[in-house]
Amino acid sequence: MSNPKTILKLDVSARGKASVSRQLADDLVARLLEADPQARVLTRDLSTGLPFIDEAWIGANFTDPAERTPEQKLKLALSDTLVNELRSADILVIGLPVYNFGVPATLKAWIDLVARARETFRYTENGPVGLLDGRKAYVVFASGGTAIGSDIDFASGYLRHMLGFVGITDVSFIAADQMMMDADAKREAARAAIEDLAGRAA
């Protein structure tokens, strides 16, 4: 009997329960669970804050694991936890609110903590290769005025690139963009997209 799948859900928005990206990500996870009731869900709320990498973190990360001091291991402990969460996931669901045309600082901090050479990617003579292939990612993109894929959208392309950088190339975006224009219509379109994607995942 195969092991149940793990869904890792990243909540990013600082708006809490009022967040459209959180609500739609919850809807998506609920539909994925309907399709696979045995799947387990692991939630990481990034809105509570993550530390930014600093000189000590970089020094610890580039020290051979066998030679790291207890202080260096402690410095990398949270990063190790986040990397292990990502490794354990078969499906990644990210609720992505657009802040000032880009990703929120907490999501960028998460990316900096999980994009680690020898852990989630490796360097080869042909360039970097991601180590987390075989996973599926869904990104729920919510914005007030930024159209997904537009010239002022610096969030979706960046996130797709970074996921691909660590090997996650099967990425689907669900957009509730430009909510200031027609929030109800945008939300319903996103919910319809969730139904469609979840149905195909069943």
| 68-121: pLDDT as tens digits | 999 999 999 999 999 999 999 999 999 999 999 999 999 999 999 999 999 999
Structure tokens at 19: 């967040």
Percent of the chain whose predicted confidence (pLDDT) is above 70: 98
Number of domains comprising the chain: 1
First to last CA, the chain: 18
State residue 2's pLDDT score: 66
76 and 57 Cβ atoms separated by less than 8 Å: yes
State residue 202's pLDDT score: 56
Is position 172 annotated in a ligand binding site?
no
Is pTM beyond 0.85 here? Answer: yes
Can you say whether the dihedral through the CA atoms of 104, 198, 165, 167 is positive or negative?
positive
Is residue 142 in some structural domain? yes
State residue 3's pLDDT score: 82
State residue 200's pLDDT score: 72
- If one compares 71 and 198, the residue with the highest pLDDT of the two is 71
CATH code assigned at 83:
3.40.50.360
Task: Give mean pLDDT, residues 150-177.
Answer: 98
Is residue 161 in some structural domain? yes
131 and 119 Cβ atoms separated by less than 8 Å: yes
Is residue 1 in some structural domain? no
Give the domain extent around 173. 6-201
Is residue 160 in some structural domain? yes
Task: Walk across the sheet containing 136-142 and list its strands.
Answer: 40-45, 6-11, 91-97, 136-142, 170-176
Is residue 33 in some structural domain? yes
Band the pLDDT of 201: cuts 50, 70, 90: low
Is position 21 annotated in a ligand binding site?
yes
Band the pLDDT of 126: cuts 50, 70, 90: very high
